[in-house]
């Protein structure tokens, strides 16, 4: 995977909130390349800037300065509407809180992002079924999300994220509400999707065990990248050049 071209490139990216004496710089000159097919975990303590970094990578926010190239497209100057198009067509998101519609079936929840693609009802249904099958939940497709366990709900959230065939899957603390056993099951699912479908995965987590599933761990401290290491097949870590 490391021989592939970067799908994400950040150069000297900063993010400042507020102005004047109340200004706070959340990111302070971030340089980061993520290659297609990688699984990258972003770690850091509360207030380190990791969530701000994730929001910029996911086109949910734009940098104050610096360059962000997504698949060669300069993102930093795009409007909100243009960033929304990138999210709709190329990105998938999994959040800690699942964000499912409570009294809506698993299948309908997974279909939701496909509504914006202009697909026919039949096409949406078939694509949603395939996504649920990929996460092992096709038999539960007619169950409302509030009838499912926490682990099942997070699997539905993963299915919804991959139903659009995204190039990058962003996961923000995806195991934060789950117990250890179910957390491992969800991480194994994301790892499998990364390896078998080639989906680039970028995950924010504060849990070292969950970060250990990634090929690469980027640690953010005070708005800068403090370390960037890649795991080899023997488990030994080496700094990314």
The token pair that represents 58 in the structure block: 């996911």
Number of Cβ atoms within 10 Å of the Cβ of 104: 14
CATH number at residue 181: 3.40.50.300
CA pseudo-torsion sign 130, 133, 138, 144: negative
pLDDT attached to residue 238: 60
**In terms of Cα–Cα distance, which of 203, 225, 117, 83 is closest to 154?**
203
Starting at the earlier edge strand, list the strands of the sheet with 91-95: 91-95, 168-172, 200-204, 39-43, 216-221, 224-231, 237-239
pTM: 0.90
pLDDT attached to residue 1: 41
Query: What does the DSSP 8-state code read for residue 105?
Result: B
Please say whether the beta carbons of 16 and 182 come within 8 A: no
- What is the residue whose two structure tokens read 């026919």? 120
Name the helix (H) or strand (E) containing 149: none
- Domain of 174 in residue numbering reads as 6-239
pLDDT attached to residue 33: 97
> Does the residue 1 lie in any domain?
no
pLDDT attached to residue 2: 43
> Does the residue 175 lie in any domain?
yes
> Does the residue 121 lie in any domain?
yes
Segments of the chain scoring below 70 in pLDDT? 1-3, 232-241
pLDDT attached to residue 119: 85
Q: How many residues does the chain have?
A: 241
The structural domain count of the chain equals 1
pLDDT attached to residue 232: 59
Q: What angle do CA 182, 188, 189 make, to 5 degrees?
A: 90
């Amino acid at each position: 995977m490391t021989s592939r071209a970067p799908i994400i490139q950040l150069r000297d990216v900063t993010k400042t909130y507020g102005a004047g004496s109340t200004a706070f710089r959340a990111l302070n000159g971030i340089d980061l390349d993520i290659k297609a097919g990688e699984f990258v975990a972003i770690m850091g303590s509360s207030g380190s800037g990791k969530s701000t970094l994730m929001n910029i990578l996911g086109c949910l926010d734009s940098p104050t300065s610096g360059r962000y190239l997504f698949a060669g497209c300069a993102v930093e100057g795009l409007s909100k509407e243009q960033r929304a198009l990138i999210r709709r067509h190329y990105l998938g998101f999994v959040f800690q809180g699942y964000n499912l519609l409570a009294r809506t079936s698993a299948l309908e929840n997974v279909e939701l992002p496909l509504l914006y693609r202009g697909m026919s009802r039949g096409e949406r249904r078939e694509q949603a079924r395939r996504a649920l099958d990929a996460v092992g939940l096709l038999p539960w497709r007619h169950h409302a999300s509030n009838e499912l366990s926490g682990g099942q709900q997070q699997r539905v959230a993963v299915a919804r994220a991959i139903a659009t065939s995204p190039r990058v899957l962003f996961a923000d603390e995806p195991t934060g509400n789950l117990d250890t056993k179910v957390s491992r099951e969800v991480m194994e699912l994301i790892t499998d999707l990364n390896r078998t479908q080639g989906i680039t995965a970028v995950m924010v987590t504060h849990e070292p065990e969950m970060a250990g599933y990634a090929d690469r761990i980027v640690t953010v401290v005070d708005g800068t990248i403090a370390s960037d290491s890649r795991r080899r097949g023997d488990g030994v870590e080496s700094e990314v050049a």
